Chains A and B, each alone.
Chain A
Amino acid sequence: MSEKILRALMQLFAIIAKGAEQPDTRRLVVADFLQKYLNADQVDNYLQVYDSFFNELEFGTTDTQRRKKTAVSSVKVIVICNQLNEELSPRQKVFVLLYLLDFLHSQELMNEQELEFVNTVASSFNISEGQFQEMLDFADPNTDPALKANANLLSITSHKAATDLAGKRLIAESLPHPVFVLRISSAALFLIRFMGDAGLTINGQRLAKNKVTVFAPGSSVRGNTIQPIFYSDVARCFMSHRADEAVSFEVKDIQYRFKSGKLGLQTLRFTERSGHLMGIMGGSGAGKSTLLNILNGNNPPTAGKVLINGIDLHKEKAQLEGLIGFVPQDDLLIEELTVFENLYFNSRLCFNQLTEKEIADKVLQLLNDIGLYEARDLKVGNPLEKTISGGQRKRLNIALELIREPSVLFLDEPTSGLSSRDSENIMDLLKELSLRGKLVFVVIHQPSSEIFKMFDKLLILDVGGYPVYLGDPVESVIYFKRAAAYVDAEESECLTCGNVNPEQVFSILEARILDENGNPSGERKVLPKEWNERYQRLLANGKSEAVEKTKPVINFHKPGLWKQFTIFLQRDFFSKLANTQYLLINILEPPLLAFILAFLCRFSLEGQAYTLGDNRNIPAYMFMCVVVSLFIGLTVSAEEIFRDRKILRRESFLNLSKGSYLFSKIVLLFGLSAFQMLIFVWIGNTLLGIQHMHTAYWLVLFTSSCFANMLGLNISASFNSAVTIYILIPFLLIPQLLLSGVIVKFDELNPIISSRAVVPLPGELMTSRWAFEALAVNQFTRNDYEQPLYTLDRAVSLASLKKSWCMTLLNLLDEVEHSGPNVNSNWEVLCNELKAKQSQNNVAALPSLAHSDKATWDALRIYLEAVKGQGGDEYNQAIEARDRFFVEVDKQPGGTDAMNELKKKHHNGKLEDMARNPSFDAPTYQIENERLVTTIDPIFRDGVAESGFRAHFLAPRKYLLGSYLNTFEANLVVIWISTILLGFALYFDVFKRLLTGLEIQFGRLLGMKRKKQIK
């Protein structure tokens, strides 16, 4: 009792006594009263206080005077009470009122004046009249509360006496006399009154007959004949449950064995019903998290089962979807969004049946309930940049689950890292939930005494997964003390302050044997197994609870796949929008890079104006564009999934669609890529004067950027740390650079890999090569100048090559003639080439190549000359056609000069060098793989049918399934196909599995090595 209350009481007593007829008797009563609660010194002290107050007051002798004074004193009372109102909590006010009543009842009757007086006090304390009347009746020693049954009254009786009492009832076996409980809703406490004489204690203090005592949370009524009656048992009776929300949670002999074979959880069995708060405690390595993951449905037990209302949790998961809530220790918040937004988007994923407004209202309501309403528009931030406090974060995390109102809620260490006030707040919240009918399981570490007492049941696990206690928390202290044969085993709480010390339990549990020096050694006095056996015996004596069998109502309506997709998209979009740094970098990066690139590449000849035609850096620019697009695409996406991994785990727990999530990410990233590449192309191409090709460039860069996005997402989903991901990026990009065909030509690589006829295999795998080739081919063949000329130039080139081909073969024929009739490689090449190109060389019939002899050689010579002649004719025709074109051009206004202007503006010389690859040193045709190959004029030669889709670098068309496809479109399609394949890989976690497999193999290798070393 605090001094304030005592002083207030003294004042009030003085006022009452003053108006009484025999003030001295009253003084005796006050002394008596004080003695009940205080020690001798304090009694004297406060009596003096009382006396001083008493003497201050003046009351008249006549009736009128007295009445006047009473009126004045009433005013005084009100003044005192108002003061007290401000200083006392509702609970304390009830206490004061009780003491007053107790005081007044210490004499037999209360007179009218006194009644009025108490009434005044009650009303100024803002206690409703009805409630006050109930209190009055309840506290009146002359009335039997049973006769005045009301909604706030609970009778606790034994079975036999139950029949004739109305109203709420709680059965306590072998209770000798009834106990009545009155609920004071305004103060959230109960008043208790025992109708019998002796035998019951409350919190260690003897319950006197007819004396009204306060029944606070955490208290229990005990007796020799009865099982303890706990506060929560009483509180539960006042809760109205809906029958369809009742859930019973049965754990039937579950056991869990790790993959290594070790037992993680020993056989455990219990049943719990809704409306309970169960705590799970244990030292490190006891198996708490393992147990939690089994109970919440994540991991199935290796033996036994978990039933909810008779439905197997692990085998028939679908039926119970949404019933269970799980709040892990990790933060599941999206940092960039506000408190409201986090909860809002989460709720939209759970309540498909509500409109957006309804959901928003629900969210605000919940935020209000848990005290986060004022913080609703604050950004969540991260633990390093705190915008909201740790306690608020934790509450928000819990709110994410709460909004669904799951009937069963699991929390993993919700109070870790919080101040004691915050911890209590959270536990209060959880307790309230349990009182409202939820079943709540909490894994907790080092709870304070207050919190410890809040639990209805406590499960303690010892190292190795052994359950060693299941029951009332406060009882656990007694249980362990008894087991350790403590002298004061029956004392669970401190007698003075009511404090329970949970540490006592663990110090007994984990007590170590002392060695010869008296220091604790590493060995335990009592092994977990032994505690477990003791526990089994305890279980055997326990009672079994009734089990619900009806299917519970679930408040969880998952939206469909498409809706989930839109919600994910919105959430991600807003979160990105709110992250200013991210936005700035990703939007400014492309234009900046484009500007730098184009600016540096803008070469012009000395003293001359800039023209595209003379810019020697155009191929380099194109290559860098591709590199930039890949790089940007990769870095933007590399961390995406990694950042969300905790949230993903939760969402898989809720069985939300992974596909929708991935698809939303993809859409967002692709959109970003499109935008970035648009700016990039616009700035870069404009600066360098590349005209009329913006769309084509954008298409190519967008495609390759999307590919990089997909690749990045795959990495993001496969690795454990952000650092690893970023280290990987250069390893992915460097091959793309080298094998693009630009830095190192494909025919100049290491001879083992390089090839002239087709792009070597490593080059086929590089997106950079496909993208650059598309850009280059497009730029060369489709620019405004070359477009009308292309076919003409092509005809000339092909005819010229034909002539060279003939001459080379004629040379070969000479060599064959010199070396004699034996079949050698030259002859092979000759045959292969002639057969391959037979259809094109249709001017004469190909002689039979069956034998390598003089006759064949002569015939071949004639044939080849004929073909060469055909080539010559084709060449002349082609040249003539081309000349005609230019003659026509000359006749146009502007003539050749205008054409040349056009050429300078659209046709780049350096690119032409690359595309035509003229060679003055080497022979046109060379031998490779018993065929003739050339690297000249790649841009005019189509891919050959016999190579299938594979063609040489910069081929303008590729052959596929009987028709020729333009390289530009074909290459884009190839890149998109690879992007889609990566998408599938992402969905099926292909890379992650590969990695895990590799890790296991590697681990085994190391393990074996280590074993060998130890041996």
Chain B
Amino acid sequence: MNARILAPALLLTVIACSNPPANQEPAAATTETAKDTAAVEAIDETKEFKFSMVLADIPSPLEIINVLGKSHARFDKGLTNGTANESRYTTSFKRGLNFGVYAIDLGYLAANDQFGNIQTYYNTTKNLAGSLDATEGFNKVAASRIKNYAENKDSVMKVVDEFYTQVDQYLRNNQRLQTATHMLVGGWVESQYLTLNSVKGMENGEDLKKIKEQIFMQKLHLGKIVSVLKDYEKDKEFMPIITEMNALNSLYQAIPSSASIDDATLASLTEKVTAVRGKITN
């Protein structure tokens, strides 16, 4: 596409899309440098701008889950990250990552009508949000709504999508970019993990074709994510994951087209994704 049109278009999209709550100043207007304290995350408008710009058109990882749900892919509860693992996520880094993971798992359950476990996963996700001080997002989505719509797939999906977005926005709008990034990475990896592991042994058909298209699209998304991750390479905790993501990226970039995704490709992708996911959920 023509880069000259793209940039301002994206910029406009960003301005249009980012609707901060009334009492929040748009990040661009912040000029004060008084906050230059020894903080891990200095308010860097460039970073933020880049983040928003770059990630603006990456859809929520829930989208692929939706597709997965609509297909006849086999549901495997064992794929989701067990809620008991929550106690192992003691640092904010791990919490951020796994918040994304659990949110995606929640979507996965909802998409497959597994309403029995929804409450548990919701609680876990909520807890993690609490420990990340991101409950404002949840405040806007009353817990009762989950309960009330428990048996209605579409409504639940909608709710999950809503709070995922809310939390993400909240974090971004409150200078919590790092956490937002963690969330994004965790969510994206989990979505790929679930997808890739579900298509194993699936018959060739419309469904598989659609899923393969979705997988191919990730090539673009992953590229963008990796570019954002470059800014975090100094982070010791994050570094191992980033390395893995980079390796994964090279795998994805090597895929020419959705049709060319064959079993071997799937196998290698699955292996790599599983490895990254393992590091995240460990």
Contact = CB atoms under 8 A, between A and B. Distances in A.
Nearest to A889: B90
Contacts of A918: 130, 135
Interface residues of B, number: 29
A876 B41 CA distance: 8
Interface residues of A, number: 35
A875 B23 contact: no
A657 interface: no
B1 interface: no
Interface stretch (A345-353, A359-367, A503-511, A877-885): A877-885
A897 B126 CA distance: 22
Interface of B is mostly: loop
A171 to B, nearest CB: 109
Contacts of B175: 872
B133 interface: yes
Interface string A796-810: 100010010001001
A530 interface: no
A877 B39 contact: yes
A391 B175 CA distance: 95
Contact of B91 (A814, A886, A921, A923): A886
Interface stretch (B61-69, B137-145, B195-203, B205-213): B137-145
B84 to A, nearest CB: 10
Nearest to A921: B142
Contacts of A523: none
B143 A887 contact: no
B6 interface: no
Contacts of B39: 872-873, 876-877
B135 A920 contact: yes
Interface string B112-143: 00000000000000100010010100110011
A871 to B, nearest CB: 10
Contacts of B237: 883, 887
Contacts of A923: 139
Given A810-B23, A876-B39, A887-B237, A869 B34 contact: yes
Given A843-B34, A880-B40, A903 B87 contact: yes
A150 interface: no
A883 B142 contact: no
Interface in A444-497: none
Contacts of A865: 25, 32
A844 B38 CA distance: 17
Contacts of B138: 920
B139 A920 contact: yes
Contacts of A880: 40, 92
Contacts of B46: none
Contacts of A869: 32, 34-35, 43
B268 interface: no
A866 interface: yes
Contact of B93 (A883, A896, A903): A883
B253 interface: no
Nearest to A876: B39
A877 B41 CA distance: 10
A844 B35 CA distance: 11
B43 to A, nearest CB: 8
B31 to A, nearest CB: 11
A899 interface: yes
Interface in B76-90: 87-88, 90
B143 A920 contact: yes
B92 A800 contact: no
B48 to A, nearest CB: 14
A811 interface: yes
A921 B143 contact: yes
B174 interface: yes
A220 B31 CA distance: 127
A900 interface: yes
A860 to B, nearest CB: 13
A900 B135 contact: no
Nearest to B88: A896
A803 B93 CA distance: 21
A811 B23 contact: yes
Most chain A Cβ neighbours within 10 Å, of B23, B130, B135, B143: B23
28 contacts: A800-B133, A843-B34, A865-B25, A866-B32, A869-B35, A869-B43, A870-B35, A872-B174, A873-B37, A876-B41, A877-B38, A877-B39, A880-B92, A883-B90, A886-B90, A887-B91, A890-B90, A896-B90, A897-B88, A900-B87, A900-B88, A903-B87, A918-B130, A920-B138, A920-B142, A920-B143, A921-B139, A921-B142
Given A873-B39, A876-B39, A887-B237, 11 more contacts: A810-B23, A814-B23, A880-B40, A882-B91, A883-B93, A889-B90, A896-B88, A900-B87, A920-B139, A921-B139, A923-B139
Interface of B: 22-23, 25, 32, 34-35, 37-41, 43, 87-88, 90-93, 126, 130, 133, 135, 138-139, 142-143, 174-175, 237
Q: Which 9 A-B pairs have the closest CB atoms?
A: A886-B90, A883-B91, A800-B133, A869-B35, A810-B23, A879-B92, A886-B91, A900-B87, A873-B37
